[in-house]
Structure 1
Amino acid sequence: MTEVVRESMEYDVVIVGAGPAGLSAAIRLKQLDADLSVVVLEKGSEVGAHILSGAVLDPCGLDALIPDWRERGAPLNVPVTEDKFYLLGEAGQIRIPNWPMPPLMNNHGNYIVSMANVCRWMAEQAEALGVEIFPGMSASELVFGPAGEVLGVVAGEFGREADGRPGPSYEPGMELRGKYVLLGEGVRGSLSKQVIARYGLSDGKEPQKYGLGMKEIWEIDPEKHRAGTVVHTMGWPLGGNAGGGAFIYHAEGNQLHIGFVVHLNYENPYLYPYMEFQRFKHHPAVAPLLEGGKRVAYGARAISEGGWQSIPKVVFPGGALLGCSAGLVNVPRIKGNHNAMLSGKAAAEAAHAAITAGRASDELTDYETDLRSGPVAKDLKRVRNVKPLWSKYGLTGSLALGGFDMWVANLFGMNPLGTQKHGKSDAAATGLAADHKPIVYPKPDGVLSFDRLTNVAFSFTNHEESQPCHLQLRDPTIPIAVNLPKYAEPAQRYCPAGVYEVVQEDGKDPRFVINFQNCVHCKTCDIKDPSQNINWVTPQGGDGPNYPNT
């Protein structure tokens, strides 16, 4: 095959991902030196296209980055006014009082936001400072130097045929080179995976753990809407089948953000996370809120849950990992956006200092030090045992032991239970089908609950069908030869977008079908496949979901 010849552009810093981490880094770099050349590449069709509304934002990251964000009109319009926690049973619920919870669990002072709209606003701030932002530009390859250092990325490649060969409208893209490359791709980013593996960044760390978060936006009856109310639930319908829980946020404009998280270390391969979410909406504490309303959007994404003990080394020759690419989510708080912003700010400061000193393409050790001793460390170290305790002892045990550990850490700055280990990866946690029973789920009613393909239409996902499939099988025989007999091929169920099917036609052997056009870029398949046979790579720029965030 003929080697592709590409033009190149030089920048001081190249940033992959226009989420809160990447945009914070870009803003901070230009705050420090207006003459630095900074570019941000975003694979979504626009900034925010791959971020579905619905988050509770701790503004500490914005406070540190843009102290006058209120005066600048940041879209943080709904302060949290009420904070409720419930333990659900099938027919009822018990409210967990707020007073026994550590102060870190208090949401007062936080805001219910559309993170897509927050990122759009941040992009405006960045562009006003002179940052170049290119949406619809997937960063598909890393560019390496002679000593193995990262020198840049390849972005903007379009027009390959399904077999990978350049088609008639092929565009080779460009090499965007920088003194440093900052990766803010989000969870399980395709370039981040490569640098973690190439440089052994996770050596000596606990395996990263994940959850699958699914979310719908509803417009509900104004009489039922309570702007500023935050509700979190645990228990039913998951029970002992999996860890996880749900959230309901009353946002502005009579909108309800309703979401469901399933920890991906579940054993039963028959578990169907999407249907657990749909079943949840029929609970007597939830259904009345939704009745008479309408769903306007749906989406899903993986969430990093490993916490402190799973954070890889975050620097490598020529760059750094930011935000969810490094796994900076605070699991009990279900928050990571504030740490993403803080990490972007810290990486920018380290990169600025290095460039000012005449350095390039080395390790930003000051960023590593800041992340492990600064505000992100303080936030994550005190909650580090909640997730492994949940995995070991279930919901009740984690509430008791995890609560105790967090309280002591909050009061005295030390975790009495030390640092618990996670053990297996989520893929390795998957049990054999022979050891578990299939789970029968109620059929969606089309009013409160919906089938997957109907809901995927509300993610407004689109992929150019002639391009190579971005869901790569390392061995195409494994789904039918291994995963089907051993695990009942769980890809049929764990994917929240109906991408994977096992098709059985009369008189023919079963076939594994990948409907990559449906993919909402959640990365669950890359994480949960028990044979680790699926490799998620970025499709061409502009493809994927186009969340409305209205």
Structure 2
Amino acid sequence: MAFDVVIVGGGPAGLTAAIRLRQENPELSVCLLEKGSEVGAHIVSGAVLEPTTLAELFPDWKERGAPLDTPVSDEKLLFLTEKSALPVPALHLLMPQMDNRGNYVISLGAFCRWLGEQAEALGVEIYPGFAGADLFIEDGKVCGVITGDMGVGRNGEEKPDYMPGMILRAQQTILAEGARGSLSKKAMAAYDLRKEADPQTFGLGIKEVWEIPAEKHRPGFVQHSFGWPLDTHTYGGAFLYHFGKNLVSYGFITALDYRNPWLSPFEEMQRTKQHPAFRKHFEGGRRIIYGARAISEGGVQSLPHPVFPGGVLTGDCAGFLNMPKIKGIHTSMKSGIIAAEAVIEAIQNGQSEATSYMERLKNSWLWKELHAARNIRPAFSHWGMLGGALYSGIDSMIFRGKAPWTLRHRHADNETLLPAEQAPKISYPKADGKLTFNRAESVFLSNLSHDEDQPVHLKVQDMATWKATNLARFAAPESRYCPAGVYETSETEELVINAQNCVHCKSCDIKDPTQNINWCTPEGSSGPNYPSGM
């Protein structure tokens, strides 16, 4: 099948790029692949949206019925100790990036479904349930993508319902897969797109959605925290948003450059719920959704070169998230708009590469925003939680993001673990089944769908390396950093992979010490199925 443009990924960046392509040139044929069963199926709801880019895309978004129903009404930033919560005073002065006035708490899944409807109305062909398994390269140029085979057994045999993958040809391919996209990773390696960039650093975001009693619901209330329970060398914290009809989105982000191999991001997230500043929001409620995903935290100095022969990178697969704001929707959407406009120019001029993409980025408000925020995240890596917080205040109030230096990311996330014998073990409280839970009962709420007979999509390249490094040196850290219980060590010290539990967070692909684990796309439609509108 041949198109002018093929887009991989049905998140905010990919959908926005598709919409802009058809807005600017209705004659272009545009195909968008989404590996989930439908647009939004792999997106856990509850996020804060800055509507800047939405207004650029659709100035009449209110009249179009965009699902932005809950404006931010109140917000807090708390520094937690084990027993207390200290509010950051003069929040908007000390940390202007955290100012959420004029923003909305949304269901991101519902928002993406709405964007999908707008794209289809403009003539975009959306194919849900099809995973981009490989790049289609001819004469050194990406000429489209190859979708994954369907109906393949665990041992590689063709089952009765076998359907081979398709080649989707394109003049230009836009990769918008989200953090650590598998095709994006291949493109970066094939064209050496990271040669001038700092290592990318990621955070693992784990999220729950709760339904709480109406009398406790505070629509538009936003709360973030840092400090306890993480140690002073680990960047991260919790967030809590009231939205929708008696819904609360609660989550915890742990930077994956953490050092202690005994740390479990899932358990840190669970025990934070027991803090008085958070516990009161859940009492009398019930947990209805669970999920996890990686986010790109590195900022502008970690951006790869986003152009390659035949295509571009956009959204979080490149790393356009603004970490100090804890927001990436508006930035991903803006990168999608810019990518679309550069791709249109390349097609019109018969160019192999969308060469204007980088120049357009650097001339946009997106680049200015990311450049102003560039030193905040690496400050925490350099000087720990307290030093990083102090620097953040100085950078925000005095330099206003215009400091005459750029702090660098010195290590990839897989390079930071201490040997297990050199790190303190962490004792986590047992789940009570009411407020806190274990991973098995959590994964159930992700509504996972993986055919257990399909090939395992988590590829361990060398089991001897796993045993010598992961097990012997780091005490099998994948059994703790995976938020879905995918990895276990058997009594005979063999690695057991429960691939059917995978929620597609990509943490194993990122954090594995020797990069021995490769996350590949499973059969189309596999993975989480988060409910619409939540």
- TM bin, normalised by shorter chain, reads over 0.9
Check if 1:415 corresponds to 2:418. Answer: no
CA RMSD of aligned residues (A): 1.2
Q: Deviations over 1:366-387 (max 9, x none)?
A: 1111223312111111111111
Deviates more, 1:34-43 or 1:282-291: 282-291
How far did residue 99 of structure 1 move? 4.2
Q: What CA distance in whole angstroms lies between the structure 2 residues aligned with 1:369 and 1:157?
A: 38
Corresponding residue for 2:475?
Answer: 488
Q: 2:361 aligns with which of 356, 362, 371?
A: 371
| Paired amino acid for 2:121 | A
Corresponding residue for 1:265?
Answer: 257
| Paired amino acid for 2:423 | H
Question: 3-state DSSP class of the match of 1:501?
Answer: strand
Q: What CA distance in whole angstroms lies between the structure 2 residues aligned with 1:387 and 1:109?
A: 24
How far did residue 104 of structure 1 move? 3.0
Corresponding residue for 1:442?
Answer: 429
Q: 1:463 to 1:290 in 2, by over 3 A?
A: same
Residues 459-478 of structure 1 aligned to structure 2 (within 5 Å): 459-478=446-465
Corresponding residue for 1:514?
Answer: 497
Q: 1:526 aligns with which of 496, 509, 512?
A: 509
Corresponding residue for 2:204?
Answer: 212
Q: What CA distance in whole angstroms lies between the structure 2 residues aligned with 1:366 and 1:116?
A: 32
**Contact 2:207–2:251 (8 Å) recurs in 1:** yes
How far did residue 102 of structure 1 move? 4.0
Q: 2:164 aligns with which of 172, 189, 201?
A: 172
How far did residue 239 of structure 1 move? 3.0
Question: 3-state DSSP class of the match of 1:538?
Answer: coil
Q: 1:152 aligns with which of 122, 135, 144?
A: 144
Corresponding residue for 1:4?
Answer: none
**Contact 1:241–1:268 (8 Å) recurs in 2:** no
Corresponding residue for 2:310?
Answer: 318
**Contact 1:497–1:520 (8 Å) recurs in 2:** yes
| Paired amino acid for 2:481 | Y
Q: 1:27 aligns with which of 7, 19, 30?
A: 19
Check if 1:57 corresponds to 2:49. Answer: yes
| Paired amino acid for 1:26 | A
**Contact 2:13–2:315 (8 Å) recurs in 1:** yes
Q: Deviations over 1:344-392 (max 9, x none)?
A: 11111111122222x15x1111111122331211111111111111011
| Paired amino acid for 1:510 | E
How far did residue 289 of structure 1 move? 1.4
**Contact 1:500–1:515 (8 Å) recurs in 2:** yes
Question: 3-state DSSP class of the match of 1:477?
Answer: helix
Q: What CA distance in whole angstroms lies between the structure 2 residues aligned with 1:92 and 1:403?
A: 22
Deviates more, 1:370-379 or 1:231-240: 370-379
| Paired amino acid for 1:390 | F
Q: What CA distance in whole angstroms lies between the structure 2 residues aligned with 1:82 and 1:347?
A: 35
User: Identity, % of aligned pairs?
Assistant: 51
How far did residue 498 of structure 1 move? 0.2
| Paired amino acid for 2:523 | Q
Can you give the 5+ residue segments of structure 1 that lack an aligned partner in the other structure? 1-8
| Paired amino acid for 2:223 | V
**Contact 1:138–1:157 (8 Å) recurs in 2:** no
Q: Deviations over 1:478-515 (max 9, x none)?
A: 222321110001000000000000011xxxx3111000
**Contact 1:308–1:381 (8 Å) recurs in 2:** yes
Q: How many pairs were matched up?
A: 532
Q: 2:443 aligns with which of 456, 480, 494?
A: 456
| Paired amino acid for 1:37 | S
Q: Deviations over 1:19-72 (max 9, x none)?
A: 100100110010011111000000000000000001100111111111111110
How far did residue 415 of structure 1 move? 1.9
Question: 3-state DSSP class of the match of 2:60?
Answer: coil
Corresponding residue for 2:121?
Answer: 128
How far did residue 156 of structure 1 move? 5.0
Q: What CA distance in whole angstroms lies between the structure 2 residues aligned with 1:489 and 1:452?
A: 17
Q: 1:246 aligns with which of 238, 248, 257?
A: 238
**Contact 1:382–1:409 (8 Å) recurs in 2:** no
Q: Deviations over 1:161-183 (max 9, x none)?
A: 22334333321121111100000
How far did residue 326 of structure 1 move? 0.4
Residues 77-116 of structure 1 aligned to structure 2 (within 5 Å): 77-97=69-89, 98-116=91-109
Q: What CA distance in whole angstroms lies between the structure 2 residues aligned with 1:156 and 1:529?
A: 25
| Paired amino acid for 1:528 | K
Question: 3-state DSSP class of the match of 1:427?
Answer: helix
Q: Deviations over 1:315-368 (max 9, x none)?
A: 1000000100101111111101111110111111111122222x15x1111111
Corresponding residue for 1:5?
Answer: none
Corresponding residue for 1:543?
Answer: 526
Check if 1:335 corresponds to 2:327. Answer: yes
Question: 3-state DSSP class of the match of 1:31?
Answer: helix
Check if 1:140 corresponds to 2:140. Answer: no
Corresponding residue for 1:3?
Answer: none
Deviates more, 1:123-132 or 1:156-165: 156-165
| Paired amino acid for 2:293 | R
Can you give the 5+ residue segments of structure 2 that lack an aligned partner in the other structure? none
Question: 3-state DSSP class of the match of 1:367?
Answer: helix
Q: What CA distance in whole angstroms lies between the structure 1 residues aligned with 2:363 and 2:301?
A: 14
**Contact 2:6–2:144 (8 Å) recurs in 1:** yes
**Contact 1:189–1:325 (8 Å) recurs in 2:** yes
Deviates more, 1:389-398 or 1:226-235: 389-398
**Contact 1:406–1:415 (8 Å) recurs in 2:** no
Question: 3-state DSSP class of the match of 1:167?
Answer: strand
Deviates more, 1:148-157 or 1:528-537: 148-157
| Paired amino acid for 1:337 | I
Q: 1:278 aligns with which of 270, 274, 278?
A: 270
Q: What CA distance in whole angstroms lies between the structure 1 residues aligned with 2:98 and 2:500?
A: 39
How far did residue 103 of structure 1 move? 3.0
Q: 1:399 aligns with which of 389, 397, 406?
A: 389
TM-score, scaled relative to structure 2: 0.98
| Paired amino acid for 1:430 | L
Q: 1:102 to 1:233 in 2, by over 3 A?
A: closer
Residues 338-357 of structure 1 aligned to structure 2 (within 5 Å): 338-357=330-349
| Paired amino acid for 1:435 | Q
